Structure 1
Amino acid sequence: MAVDINGKPYHRNLLVMVMLVGSFCTVLNQTILATAFPTLMKAFDISTATVQWLTTGFMMVNGIMIPVSAYLSNKFNSKWLYISAMSIFELGTITAFLAPNFGTLLCGRLIQATAVGITMPLMQNIMLTIFPPEKRGAAMGINGLVIALAPALGPSLSGWVVDNYSWRVLFGMIIPIVAVVIIASFFLMQNVLKNTDPTLDWLSLVISTLGFGSVLYGFSSVGDKGWTSTVVWVSIIFGAILIALLVWRQTKLTNPFLDFKVFKTPEFTLATLLSSIVMIAMVGVELVLPLYLQIVHGMSAFHSGLSLLLGALMMGLMSPVTGDLFDRYGAKRLVMTGMFILTIGTIPFAFLTRETPIFDVIFLYAVRLFGISMVMMPVTTSGMNALPFEMISHGTAVNNTIRQVASSMGSAILISILTNVTNSQKPSHALLKASPLQYKAKMIDATLNGYHAAFWVAITFAVIGLLASSKLKNHNKINARYDADNMQKGGSAK
C-alpha cells in the first residue's frame, strides 16, 4: 500500500490521475491561442506584435517561475502547493474568460503562466518520488503523454473553437474541469514530498527572475524584431550575465535557491543537453511547418494545425510505451534509435516543394514525433535517476528551465533563418508590376528556400543529438546514494 510522508495510506493511481487531468489543462494553455490570434486582433483592434504577447508573456512568466518551483516544493507540502497552484490557474482562466479588454486578457494569461510554472515541475517531481526507480520510466512516460499531447492539440482545438464559437470558449471550457480537479485534490492529493524548510534568498530570486526573464524575452522577440535589433541582443546578453551571476551566487550559499551542483553528475548534464536539443528540433519545426502549409499550400490555420494532429497522437500514444521500454532496457539504445529516426524523418523536409503531397508531410511529421517520443521522457528520467534523491527537486527545476529556454531558442533560430533567407532571395518589388505571375512564382521559390534552410538547421541539431546520445550509458544506473526509506515514505508500495 502506498503511504505519504506521514505514513498515511493513499491511492497512488487516483493521485496520478488528478495530476494528469490538471496538468493537461495547464499545458494545453501554452498553445490554445495559436490559431486564435487573428480573431483576437479583430476583437480588441490590436496589432500582430501586441497579440503575440499572449504567448511571449506566458512563456516568460512560465520560465521565471520554474526555478522557483524547487524552493516551493521543498518549503510547502505538496498537497496544498498543488491545490494553491491550480486555484491560481483557475483564477487566471476566469480572468481571461471574462476579459473586457486586451490588458485584462493578458493579465489572465500571466496569472495562468505563474501556476503552470509551478505545477509542471511539481508533477514531475512527485512522479519521480512516488514511483521506485525501476518503474520511473513508465511513470514519466505517462507524464510525457500529457506534455506531448496537450500542446499539440492546442492549435487544432483553437482553430475549431474560434471557427464555430466565441474565443472565450477556449477558456470557458477549461474552467469547470479545473474546478473538478481542485475539489478532487482535497481528497486524493497527499503530502508525498519531504519538506526541508529552506530559507529563501531574495537576491537569488530577483537575479533569477531578471536573468531568465531577460533571456526569454530576447529570444522571443527575434521573430518580430530580428537578430539585428539592439533590444534582442541587450536582453540576451544582460540575461546571460545575470544567470552567470546566479550560478556563482548559488555556489556560495549553504542552502542554494537553485542548486547547480546537479551538473556535477555527467549523466544528468548529458540528459539535459539532449532534451534541450530535442526541444529546439521539435518546437522550431512545429512553428515553421504550419507556415509552409498555409503559405505554400494555401491551407487554413485550422487545417494546418489539424495536419499535425497525427504526429501529436503518435507521440502521446508512444510516450507510455517508450517509458516502459526504458525501464526494461535503459536509455542508450532507445535514445540513439529515437535520435536516428528524428534525423531521418527531418531530412525530407529540407526538400519540400510546391507539389509535395500533404499526406507526405503528415506522415513524415508523425515519424519525427515518433522518434522524439523515444528520447524526451527516457533521457529526462535517465538524468534524474543519476541524481541523489535529495537533489531531484533541483534537477527537475534546472532541467525544465533549460528546456524552456531551449524552446525559445529553437523558435527564434528557425523563424529568423526562415525570414532572413526568404527576404534575401525574394524578387524586387518592380517585378510585381511588370509580371505579377513571375513575381509570385519567384516569391514562392524564395519562401521555399527559407523553409529548406530552417529545416537544415533542425537536421543539424538532430545530428548533434544523435552523436551526443552515443555517450549515454548502456543501462539505467540508479544513483548509489538513493534513499530507499525516503522512497517508501514518498509513496512506493511497502
Structure 2
Amino acid sequence: MSAGLTEKLSKPFIAKPSFWPALATLFFGSFVGMYHVVSLNVSLPGFIGIFHTDLGKVQWIITGFSLACGVIAPASGYAGDRFGGKQVFLFCLAGITVTSVLCAFSWNIYALIAFRILQGVFCGLIQPVSLALIYRTVPADKQPLAVSVWSFSTILGTALAPSVSGWLQGYDWHLIFLVTVPVGILALVIGSRILPSNSVNKETKLDRIGLALAASGSLSLLLLFGNIYAWGWKSAAFWVCLIVGVGSSVWFIIHQLRTKTPLLQLRLFRNRTFTISLVVSLILSVALYSGIYFVPLYLSEIHGLSSFHIGLLFLPGAACLTCATFFSGRYYHKFGPAVLAIVGTSILIATTYLFSRLQVSTSLLAIMIIIAIRNTGTGLALTPVTNAGMMAIPKELSGHASALINWLRQIFSAMALGLFTSLFYARLAVHQEQLGKSDEAYPSAYTLSINDAFLFSAIIILSALPLALLLRKPKGVSCVEASTTDAIRANRS
C-alpha cells in the first residue's frame, strides 16, 4: 500500500460538527441490521399457521438467514477496501430496506425463505462495515464513545426486536418487516449526505479460494452446531459437517497465510492486544446470547408470559445497558479497558450464577433486577474490549479486523448456542428421569435444565477474567503492533 494511500486512510474524515449526525446514521444502520437478525426468534412458530406449512420449512426463515450472514461476513474487509466503506454501508442499508419490503409481500413460505436469505447477505455485511467506518473516520479520542453508541445499537436491536415482532405478528405480520423501512430510508438519505467517502483501492483482488473455503467451513459448522442435538454424534450428517467444517477451516488458515491478497488478514493475530481482546469478546458474546436465549424460554414456559410481556420485562435492563455502555465509552481513557472489562465480567459471572439458581417460584421482579444488573456488566465489558483490539491496529487494517471479529462472533455464538441447547435437552432428559415425566414435575425439570445451562455459561465467562487482566490502557501503536503491520505490508509486496 502506497504511503499516500496510507496517509489518506489514517486521516479522520468526520469533522467535529458532523460527528453526531454521522454517528447517528451508523447507529440506525447497525440497528436495522441487528433487528432482522433476531426479529423472528419469538414469532417463528406463528408462520406455520400463516403459510399453512410445518416447522421444518419455517425454521429455514432463520437458518437460511444465519447461513447467509456467516458466509458473507469474511468478504466485508475486501468490499470496504475495494468499493469504499460509505458505498458498501449505503448499499447494504438499501438492500436491507428493499428485502424487508419483499419479505413483507411474500406470497408463500418459499418466497419468504428466499428473500430472508438475500436479506442475510446485506445484514452480514453491514455490521463489520459500520464498525470499520468508525475507526477509519472518527478521531482516536472519540472512538471509545463512538463504539459505545454503535455497540448499544447492536444490543438494543437484540433486546427489542423479539418483543416488537411478537406484538406485530398478532396485529399484522407484514409489519414485522415493514417497521424498519422508514428508519432505513431516513438513514440512507442522511448517510448519503453526511458520511464521508474514503479512498478505495481498485487494485484489491477478491480471494476467491479463501471465500470458498470460508463459506464451506462456515456453512458446515453452522449446520453442525445448529442441529447437533437433533442429529446426534452418531449420525452421518454430523460427521460430514464436522469433517468438511474442520477441514475447510484448516485449509483456509493455511491459504490465508500463504497468499499475497488474503480475504482476511490472519497475521493480525500477531498483535497481542488484538488477539486477547478478540478472545475475550468472543467469550462475552457467548454469555450475552445465552442470557437472551434462555431467560425468555424460562419466562415463556414457566411463567406463561407472551413475547411482548417478556420484552417489557427486558426494558429496565435495556436502560441499564444504555447507561453502562455510555459510561464505558466516556471513561475508557481514564480507567482503561482492563479495569472496565474486569468489573463488567465479574458482574456477568455473578449474575449468570444467580440465573443458575432459578426456581419455579422465582418472582418476575427478581428476574428483572438480575437482568438489569447483568446488562450493566455487559455494557461495561464488551465495548471496551472490542475498542482495545480495534485501536491496537492501524486504520488501514480496520476493515479486515472488523470482518474477522464479526465473522468469528457469528460462528462462535452459533456454536455456543448449539452446545447450550444440546446441554439443556440432555439435562432435561436426566431431570425428567429423576423427577418423573408427569405434568407436575415438568416445570421443575425444565427450570433445573436451564440452571445447568447457565452454570455452564458462568464457567465459560470465568475464563475471560485472567485474559482481561492482560489488556492495557491505549498508548498508541506498540513495537509489536508496528511489526505486525510491516509484516502484512511485506507479504503484500
Q: Structure 1 length as normaliser, TM-score?
A: 0.90
Q: Aligned partners of 2:220, 2:103: CA distance in 1, in Å? A: 25
Q: Alpha-carbon deviation of 1:229?
A: 4.3
Q: Which of 174, 178, 186 lines up with 2:192 in the alignment?
A: 186
Q: Alpha-carbon deviation of 1:193?
A: 5.1
Query: For 1:203-242, what aligned pairs fall within 5 Å after superposition?
Result: 203-222=209-228, 224-226=230-232, 229-242=235-248
**Number of the residue aligned with 2:477:** 479
Whether 1:64 and 2:71 are equivalent positions in the alignment is yes
Instruction: Report the RMSD for the aligned CA atoms in angstroms.
Output: 2.3
Q: Aligned partners of 2:66, 2:318: CA distance in 1, in Å? A: 21
**Number of the residue aligned with 1:281:** 287
Q: Alpha-carbon deviation of 1:237?
A: 3.4
Q: Aligned partners of 1:144, 1:103: CA distance in 2, in Å? A: 33
Task: Give the residue type in structure 1 aligned to 2:124.
Answer: G
Q: Aligned partners of 1:66, 1:377: CA distance in 2, in Å? A: 20
Change beyond 3 A, Cα 1:133–1:428: closer
Whether 1:99 and 2:98 are equivalent positions in the alignment is no
**Number of the residue aligned with 1:396:** 402
**Number of the residue aligned with 2:373:** 367
* 8 Å contact kept, 1:219–1:409: yes
Q: Aligned partners of 2:402, 2:14: CA distance in 1, in Å? A: 26
Q: Aligned partners of 2:194, 2:469: CA distance in 1, in Å? A: 42
Q: CA-to-partner distance for each residue in 1:31-77, whole Å, 9 max, x for gaps? A: 11122122211111222232222222222111111110000001012
Q: Alpha-carbon deviation of 1:367?
A: 1.1
Query: For 1:83-94, what aligned pairs fall within 5 Å after superposition?
Result: 83-94=90-101
Q: Report percent identity of matched pairs.
A: 24
SS in 1 for 2:227: helix
Q: CA-to-partner distance for each residue in 1:207-254, whole Å, 9 max, x for gaps? A: 111111221222222354455544244323311221111111011111
**Number of the residue aligned with 2:487:** none
* 8 Å contact kept, 2:324–2:377: no
**Number of the residue aligned with 2:4:** none
Q: Aligned partners of 1:33, 1:159: CA distance in 2, in Å? A: 8
**Number of the residue aligned with 2:491:** none
* 8 Å contact kept, 2:14–2:22: no
Deviates more, 1:30-39 or 1:69-78: 30-39
Change beyond 3 A, Cα 1:7–1:102: same
Q: Which of 9, 18, 24 lines up with 1:17 in the alignment?
A: 24
Task: Give the residue type in structure 2 aligned to 1:366.
Answer: A
**Number of the residue aligned with 2:446:** 447
**Number of the residue aligned with 2:300:** 294
* 8 Å contact kept, 2:25–2:187: yes
Q: Aligned partners of 1:27, 1:176: CA distance in 2, in Å? A: 16
SS in 1 for 2:470: coil
SS in 1 for 2:203: coil
* 8 Å contact kept, 1:133–1:478: no
SS in 1 for 2:38: coil
Whether 1:115 and 2:122 are equivalent positions in the alignment is yes
* 8 Å contact kept, 1:144–1:320: no
SS in 1 for 2:251: helix
Task: Give the residue type in structure 2 aligned to 1:137.
Answer: P
Q: Aligned partners of 1:413, 1:180: CA distance in 2, in Å? A: 39
**Number of the residue aligned with 2:351:** 345
Q: CA-to-partner distance for each residue in 1:366-418, whole Å, 9 max, x for gaps? A: 11111011111110110111123322211111111111112102211211111
SS in 2 for 1:263: helix
Change beyond 3 A, Cα 1:375–1:203: same
**Number of the residue aligned with 1:259:** 265
Whether 1:386 and 2:389 are equivalent positions in the alignment is no
- Size of the aligned set, in residue pairs, is 472
Q: CA-to-partner distance for each residue in 1:98-153, whole Å, 9 max, x for gaps? A: 10001111112111111111111111001112223232111100111101111110
Whether 1:169 and 2:175 are equivalent positions in the alignment is yes
Whether 1:469 and 2:464 are equivalent positions in the alignment is no
**Number of the residue aligned with 1:139:** 146
Q: Aligned partners of 2:160, 2:393: CA distance in 1, in Å? A: 33
Change beyond 3 A, Cα 1:352–1:339: same
**Number of the residue aligned with 1:406:** 412
Task: Give the residue type in structure 2 aligned to 1:378.
Answer: P
Q: Structure 2 length as normaliser, TM-score?
A: 0.90
Q: Aligned partners of 1:227, 1:118: CA distance in 2, in Å? A: 33
Q: Aligned partners of 1:266, 1:196: CA distance in 2, in Å? A: 31
Unaligned runs of 5+ in 1: 433-438, 484-494
Task: Give the residue type in structure 2 aligned to 1:445.
Answer: S
Deviates more, 1:69-78 or 1:179-188: 179-188
**Number of the residue aligned with 2:83:** 76
* 8 Å contact kept, 2:34–2:123: yes
Q: Aligned partners of 2:232, 2:326: CA distance in 1, in Å? A: 39
